[in-house]
Amino acid sequence: MAVDELQAIIQRCQILEEADFKGEDFNLFQVAGQKCLEDGHAAQLLEVIQNEKNKVIIKNMGWNLISPLVRCIFMYKQEDDKREQCLRILDQLAQLCNPKELFLGLLEQIEQTSGEQVCQTVMLLLQPLQTVLLKLQNKKAYSVGLSLAVIMNQLTPLPVPYTKQQIQEDKLGLCQCCNAVVDFAKPFVNEVVKNMEKSSEYNDMELKEELVKFCMKSLQYPLLTAQLEQLEGIEEHPFRHFATEIIDILWNIGELIPLVFVHHKSKSPEWEDQEFADIERKNSAESLACLSYLIFAQHLGVECFPVVFSPSYLLLCNMTHIKVLLKRTEESVLSKGLDLFESCLLRMEDNSLLHHYLEFRDFINIPQDLVKIMTLCPMEHMGKKSLNILQLFIDKFDTEGKYTLLRCLLKTSNHAGVEGYIIKNIKDQIHLALTKEYDNIWFTGYHLISLLDLVLSLPEGAETDLLQNSDRIMASLNLLRYIVIKDCESDNQTGVWTILGKIEQNFLKPLRVGLNMSKAHYEAEIKNKKENRKEAHSSNTVCSVTVSGEKMPAMTTGMQLQVLHSALFTFDLIESVLARVEELIEVKTKAVMDENS
């Protein structure tokens, strides 16, 4: 019945001129063709399409069959003959239909798909879409750009496989689809390359710019959040392959080096709405950051670069990208920022980075970003890696650079643990200054005295929360103990003996008073808790504790006592080091006085 209806419409249209086709003819052809497909008569429909006499009809009306054809292809199983016939119909339509009409029909079908069928639909229609685009004469660059944009917009909502198992399963087909899209773009890349080879003054920039847009979009999705490390058991990592292909496209069309070293070279659209402009700028920055990560951390396409750039220049170029990546909170993106930073630093020798680089804002801001990751990131391995990279960064600077950076971090970190770590670094630098033969003006004398004013101080004098600041206080005391032992008053290389009175007044005495107050307070609390426990029916009485405005999990009296005893132990530890420092100062001062008398 459906085949008969189709034949009747075909016979009526065969006697008409192309210009005489009416809207009714198009509708009848679409309905009859759809019925043929749904009733399983794909073979008969294929015969009609292949008939030379129907060439004009198919040219004008064939594109209407795309939607029902795609539905039927997905309905049949892979090995079904009818599915194969439907695929041949799709191939014939790509060859015979009006390119402009079929182009719009194919894009519409891709736009209408969603969910699990997105990748399947895109991969199914890429070949006919490529065939049609190669036939287009007018607005070819625009059509290629539109096709790539529509495809990428459909893929973007899909989750990017991250674990080894997810990549191997490729449940939605994203890995396979991304690489298929690159193959789809290759003829247009080749066209640009050929035109560039013909003329050194290649002026038709439209197609080239559309390809750059596609690469930039691909760098942001899926590559920015993709797992790109080599994975054992996966011979060819799909996303690494995709990344390599994207870099190859940029290299072939002459845009790789300009994008890496001349930021935002590609034209960005002029948006009247500032919000859209900000989104475009953010997306572009993330794409460029991902590109740098691929080249300098994963070493993809690095062979394209001339070996003329100094490690410090590469670090300078990448600091903008590192900052962009470290601002994100997802592990997949944050780890790329850390890897890129580490890779740039490992290229450099220790003490080779000049202090002048700290005049660039990012060289001060990024260490502060590392501190935030160390102190706020819930992923412990990220915090540890940030700490290692911060140390690596410190090590690369010359002496003045180390001094400036450590001083800045001590002022801005606002975290006792980090401050303690910075003070330990200062102690290490003082040790080098005292043991090396050459003069070190930054960690001795006047400059060191200025730094010690920051180190040997209590934020709120005797009222300082010693428990919260214990890491910093212990590091400060250890530094002072080291100086008192190593630097004789007669040499006074550090200048500590000159400002000893100030240190005692601003640090040691307030610390002693604070310790006495804190110990007395905690001992009274322990006594109080013990008395309350005797009065209570059970030692497992539960109460709530509030710290910094946040309610902590309920604690039994026994647990509270354990916490209080732990605090007392910390105070005893601080007091023992403080007593040792005071003893050393007294011994050395007395020795000098005895010599002078």
Q: What is the pLDDT of residue 539?
A: 47
Residue 565 has pLDDT above 80, yes or no: no
Q: What is the pLDDT of residue 380?
A: 93
Residue 130 has pLDDT above 90, yes or no: yes
Of 25-29, 204-208, 226-230, give the range with the top mean pLDDT: 226-230
Eight-state DSSP code of residue 151: H
pLDDT digits (tens, 9 = 90+) for 377-390: 999 999 999 999 99
58-80 mean pLDDT:
85
- C-beta of residue 174 within 8 angstroms of C-beta of residue 222: yes
Q: In b/e form, how buried is each residue of 230-267, taking b as 16+ CB within 10 angstroms?
A: eeeeeeebbbbebbbbbbbbbebbebbeebbeeeeebe
Least confident stretch, 105-114, 271-280, 546-555: 546-555
Q: What is the pLDDT of residue 524?
A: 80
Q: What is the pLDDT of residue 69?
A: 92
Query: pLDDT class for 548, splitting at 50, 70, 90?
Result: very low
H-helix or E-strand containing 526?
A: helix 509-535
Rounded CA separation 371/408 (Å): 12
Q: What is the pLDDT of residue 511?
A: 94
Rounded CA separation 553/564 (Å): 16
Q: Nearest Cα to 192, choosing from 175, 215, 176? A: 215
- C-beta of residue 491 within 8 angstroms of C-beta of residue 539: no
432-455 mean pLDDT:
90
- Strand, coil or helix: what is 72? helix
Q: What is the pLDDT of residue 252?
A: 94
Say which residue the tokens 């530890």 belong to.
Answer: 573
pLDDT digits (tens, 9 = 90+) for 168-222: 999 999 999 999 999 999 999 999 999 888 876 555 689 999 999 999 999 999 9
- The model's pTM: 0.88
pLDDT digits (tens, 9 = 90+) for 292-313: 999 999 999 888 877 788 999 9
pLDDT digits (tens, 9 = 90+) for 457-483: 998 888 888 889 999 999 999 999 999
Residue 424 has pLDDT above 60, yes or no: yes
H-helix or E-strand containing 556?
A: strand 555-556
Question: Over pLDDT 70: what percentage of the chain?
Answer: 87
**CA Rg value for the chain:** 36
Rounded CA separation 539/532 (Å): 9
pLDDT digits (tens, 9 = 90+) for 481-540: 999 999 888 888 999 999 999 999 999 999 999 999 888 888 787 777 777 666 665 545
What value does the mean pLDDT of the chain take? 87
**Which residues are bridge partners to 353 per DSSP?**
397
